[in-house]
Structures are given as structure tokens and as C-alpha cells.
Amino acid sequence: MSPVDVRGLALQVLLPGFEGTTLPDDHRALLEQGLGGVCLFGSNTAAGHATTAALVAAVRAANPLAVVAVDEEGGDVSRLHTREPSPVLGAAALGGVGDPDLTEAVGRWVGHELAALGITLDLAPDADVNSDPLNPVIGTRSFGTEPHRVAEHVAAWTRGVQSAGVAACAKHFPGHGDTAVDSHLDLPRVDVDADTLAARELVPFDAAVEAGTAAVMTSHIVVPALDPHRPATLSPVVLGMLRDVLEFDGVIVSDALDMAGASAGRGIPEAAVLALAAGCDLLCLGPDKPAALVLEVRDAVVRAVEDGRLPAARLADAAARVRAMRVDATSQPALPDHERQVAAVAGALVREGALPDLDGAVVVSVETSANIAVGDVAWGIRPDVRVDASGAGLPSDGAALVVQVRDAARRPEVLDLLRSLARDGRAAVVVEWGWPGAYDVGLPRICTRGSSGPAVAAVEAVLRDAGWAR
């Protein structure tokens, strides 16, 4: 294989992000040279659908075979809906509803929205079983805690999105649900034996494969029962299990290699080489990356082939899998059924305690940092007041409060604020928009299992029944 061929193949397996809502000239040039594709993030889609469609068209004009990927999970994780809550329920809410037909419909609605923009790969659904209620990065992105229920919904969502002609990508193999560390920031471990892994983590991924998922995304986690030394993305043992045990024959996509779990201490180019050698086919480099980094990674892959660290056949196989990733549309476009979703999630809300009289109530959002996967997006009911966990700025006129929080169970400072309101005898209700972790602060609580337009409508109806008006 000639050096020119190797350089071309090295470009074909790369999936970088870039900065801005228009296609930079240097990334356009890379696409014209055969760059495998691009991954769109919030910084690329912030200007709205029309601008995003124009951006995708520019990508496809530069390289008609390019993969255009995005994280569009619905609910809390949306790149297309950042200024208002997503129009579709997220995974945890759908798992709470327990209707796989609705889950499939949501996947289908998301798929048709992406297809209309020209997007070809959705980095969803999340197939993690959220075993740790304090998980800082999965939470409401998971369909739940019971493996077979999660599997049923993962399969349904996969069928739905792929019926629109958009490839699904089940993530984060072999399972990121039993972690207390965010792999964006560090290297988590899942310390379970092989039997537990097979009976819990792997069940939804097996269902995704059976449902025909076009892609599976790896996780930057160490599973000592399989490979005590390497994160899954860089482990031939873990990825070999995906191929040989689950019999997955599609595209293995790496989670973003700029995440600390993959590249800390070794750098993105070396992580890329190791990921390819382990069995990854398409390498996500992360958001807002300069073209210079793409070239640096390409050159590192070329050197690895020349040095014998990466077999040329492995590189060629990865590129061939990426080129072959296509999904045919089998369903007709349709807009999300808002009323159906509102009714479904209303029946699944978790309500604890009797609500006080909410006549004249003020909606307060307790602002906390979302995890990197969720990002800076709209969530919950439009607040009247925003405060931090200190509570500074809370209305002092004695008005009843609707206090919106996210993942308060893992935020002691937020729990302290809520307990102080209860001690003061304030008429208040807590609306928990994150994972419904167990905590008792002495106030009634409504748990939604994630923010979305339908969930907001369902919660507002409950509050109005208690006298709230806007």
C-alpha cells in the first residue's frame, strides 16, 4: 500500500468537530481530500435549523460520502434544541412511561428531523444501565436501571431512528452506567465480575445489535474483569468481545478522544492510533478542533502503519466499514405528537407529598453546572428567578415557591438550600428535573426523569391544579 493510500485511509476514519456555524475553509479542504466526516456540536447548530442545514449541505458538497454525526438523544441531550427544551422525551422519561411503541415513535421523529437536515449518523441511543444513582454523566440519558427494560427501549429507539434512514449508534460500550466518575474528566472503573457484566451491562447492547444498529460507540472506562489496564476504547479484548461475542459487524465509533479517559497522559494522536489498533473504525476527535489537529492525528496514524504498530489491513478495514455505513429509510416523515407525549409522561411523574397552595407562586431555578454531555441548554419551566445554591436572591415576600433543581441527590449544597426552605416553613414544591435520586428535604417533590417540552407541559398542568398561574 502506497503512502498516499495510507494517508487517504487515515483521513477516512476521522470524525472531528470544528468551531462555528459555517464550514471553515481548512476543514472543507480536508473533506475534499477524503475526510471521513464531521461531528456537529452545540457550537455548530446554535444558529438554528436553516443555518445547520446549510452547513451540512456545505459538508456534503465537499465530500458527498462524508458522515455527518450529531448527539441527538432527546430530552436533556440535544444539539438541535438548545434555546428551548427538546420537543421529545428523553430516555429516562421514556423508560418511566414504559411504552416501547412510544419510544420507537420518538426515535422515528428524531430520525426524520435529522434526515431533513442531511445528518446521517445519530450518536444515540444511550444503552447504559444507570446502576449508580449518583452517576455524574449518564443519569437521565439512560432508559433505567433494569437491564431488560433498558434493552427493550434501546431496541425500539434504534428501530425508530433507523426507519428514517439515519444510522443509530448505541453507546457507551461496554456500559457506563455503574460509574461515579465522568470520563470527560477522568478514567472511570466498573468493578464488576464478568457474570454481572453479561447479565447487566451487555444486555442492552446485545438488543441493539439484534435490532440492527449501524454503529456502537465505545466508552473510556476500565473494566478490570475484561482488561485491567486499558480503557474500553483502547482495548482489543473489550472490542473483540463486541465483535466475537455480540457478533456486531457494523461500525465501532470511539467516544470523543479529547476526553481525559482516552487521551490524558498520551495525547489525542496516540489515543487515535491505539483506538484503531484495538478495533475502532471511526474516531470522534471532539468539538471545536482545528484542522491542524486533524492533520496531526492523520500523520500519527500513517507513522504507526509505517512503523508496524498499526497493520495496514486494520486501517483499510476500518475505512471500508465507514464507507459502507448506510441505512435505508422505511418510514414516512411525521412531526412529534406533543399531546401523546404529554399524556404519557404525566402518568409517569413521581409525586411525593401533597402540594401546598401555589396561588401566586414564583418559579425559581437553582442553577448548577450540567455535565459536559448535556451542555448549556434550556431546561425546565421558564423561571421567574435564577439563584445559585446559596439561595441569594430568593423572593423574601413569603410567596410560595416552585423550586427547580437538577440531580440534587448528588449536590449537598442544593440539598442544604432545600432543607433551609423547609425549616423556614416556606410553602414550596421541589421539581427534580434530573435523575430521581432518593432524598428527603421536608418538601413535596415532583420527579420528571429529565427535561423536555412534553415534560414541562405535564408538570405545569400539575402545578396549575395546585393554583399556580402564569
Where does CATH 3.20.20.300 sit in the chain? Answer: 3-324
- Residues in a beta bridge with 173: 218
- Marked catalytic residue, from 112, 184, 227, 407: 184
Annotated catalytic residue 184: yes
Nearest to 252 by CA among 199, 223, 213, 210: 213
Please give the model's pTM, rounded to 2 decimal places: 0.96
Answer yes or no: 112 catalytic: no
Given 71, 182, 255, 258, the catalytic residue? 255
Considering the four listed CATH numbers 3.20.20.300, 3.40.50.300, 3.30.1370.140, 3.40.50.2300, the one that applies to the domain covering 3-324 is 3.20.20.300
Torsion angle defined by CA atoms of residues 29, 284, 376 and 380, in that order, rounded to the nearest 10 degrees: 130
- Cell numbers placing 282: 471511526
Q: Please state, rounded to an integer, the average pLDDT across all residues of the chain.
A: 96
Task: Please report the pLDDT score of residue 272 as a whole number.
Answer: 98
Q: How sure is the predictor about 4, in pLDDT bands with cuts at 50, 70 and 90?
A: low
b (16+ CB within 10 A) / e for 198-220? bebbbbbbbbbbebebbbbbbbb
What percentage of the chain exceeds 70 in pLDDT? 99
The count of other CB atoms within 10 Å of the CB of residue 331 is 17
How is residue 244 annotated by DSSP?
Answer: H
- Distance (Å) of CA 438 to CA 95, 146, 291: 18, 17, 46
pLDDT value of residue 212: 98
DSSP letter for each residue of 32-71:
HTT--EEEE-HHHHTT-HHHHHHHHHHHHHH-TT-EEEE-
Read off the pLDDT band of 1 (50, 70, 90).
low
| pLDDT digits 0-9 by tens, 232-262 | 999 999 999 999 999 999 999 999 999 988 9
Q: Is the pLDDT of residue 398 over 90?
A: no
Helix axes 453-465, 338-348, angle to 10 degrees: 60
